[in-house]
Structure 1
């Protein structure tokens, strides 16, 4: 585990380095903190399963997990919980954030670029379905040799959320059709 000081946002982000790096271009996963998904196993999102997949792949292949403390698309835990309440009333995650006065996604991946530069890693293979991660890293001068998709962890509880990610932020994933029980 590698901690950092003096990052561009002064946050407490960290990296997990997996020793079996088998290439000059390491596999890197940027993972934004999600307490409800990562630690509590919420089925409302795909964060926990994506984190577990990344840890397994990195354990097998080597590389880095950059764990970014940017809960709730950058709005924080409490505002995320307020957004959950709005989602219960029918809003999607992006509309809920907007209703609370936030942008669709307030995360900055400049801190990830800062971390990679501190580790002298200017070129990576990015494990992500989110094109914004790749775009922001490239804008910060990190070379993306390849974008590798994560699995799609779709269920009846998160299918609307995942559909919103595809619709609003062009996430690269094909969603299975989910049939929800109706009362």
Structure 2
């Protein structure tokens, strides 16, 4: 199996303490690709043995996660997921090193430049000869296996992530929406996600914070 666990440590954050686990893809074509999992209460103990772990699959977004960009909702989603998993007491964030939906940082900024000219996020990728979404999720299985998790509740607006997990043999009992960080700069971006990429988002994307509820079994 190419995705191998390498190390683990405690990670105190402003949202609480996590265990941080690092995995590498030993078969990556260039440098070995590193993925990170933050966990709370995993593997489960007697105190949380009846809880279904709450997980978030989050692809790397330097501009949103580190620089607090308002062009996307990635930073608020990551921070909200960390808070919610801490409150739940049992769960994980699978932080996948797939910048720009898998096209990389350079191409992501090239796509940003096209967006500055009035093109939407999907068309910008296509104009560069790139896929709308180049991400893969096969690494999620060994990461969750590492903490003995095969049934989850998922924080996502993207129904494809539910299908990817199910195809990997992971049971998804509930999809929990995560609509946060909506603002005047990213409302068009979110509308494209909803209207052209099938994300399950509330109709109110005019810059107001919104809440949705949806359950899938």
TM-score (norm 1): 0.91
Tell me what 2:24 maps to. 5
Q: Are residues 5 and 55 of structure 1, via their aligned partners in 2, closer, same or farther at CA, if it must alter by over 3 Å?
A: same
Tell me what 2:165 maps to. 137
Give aligned pairs, total.
Answer: 179
Note the C-alpha offset of 1:6: 4.3
Instruction: Work out which of the two has the higher radius of gyration on C-alpha atoms and give 1 or 2.
Output: 2
Q: 1:41 touches 1:48 (CA, 8 Å); kept in 2?
A: yes
Q: 2:154 touches 2:175 (CA, 8 Å); kept in 1?
A: yes
User: Which protein, 1 or 2, shows the higher relative CO under an 8 Å CA cutoff with sep ≥ 6?
Assistant: 1
Bigger CA drift: 65-74 or 20-29? 20-29
Within the candidate set 102, 109, 118, 1:81 is matched to 109
Note the C-alpha offset of 1:174: 0.5
SS in 2 for 1:162: helix
1:43 aligns with 2:62: no
Q: How does 1:1-150 map to 2 (within 5 A)?
A: 1-6=20-25, 11-19=33-41, 22=48, 23-62=50-89, 63-150=91-178
Rounded to whole Å, the distance in 2 between the matches of 1:28 and 1:128 is 9
Q: Are residues 158 and 114 of structure 1, via their aligned partners in 2, closer, same or farther at CA, if it must alter by over 3 Å?
A: same
Higher-strand-fraction structure: 2
1:168 aligns with 2:206: no
Q: Runs (4+) of structure 1 moved beyond 4 Å?
A: 6-10
* Backbone CA RMSD of aligned residues: 1.8
Q: Deviations over 1:133-173 (max 9, x none)?
A: 11111111111111111124211100000000001221111
Rounded to whole Å, the distance in 2 between the matches of 1:168 and 1:84 is 18
TM-score (norm 2): 0.77
Rounded to whole Å, the distance in 2 between the matches of 1:43 and 1:175 is 19
Note the C-alpha offset of 1:117: 2.3
Note the C-alpha offset of 1:177: 4.9
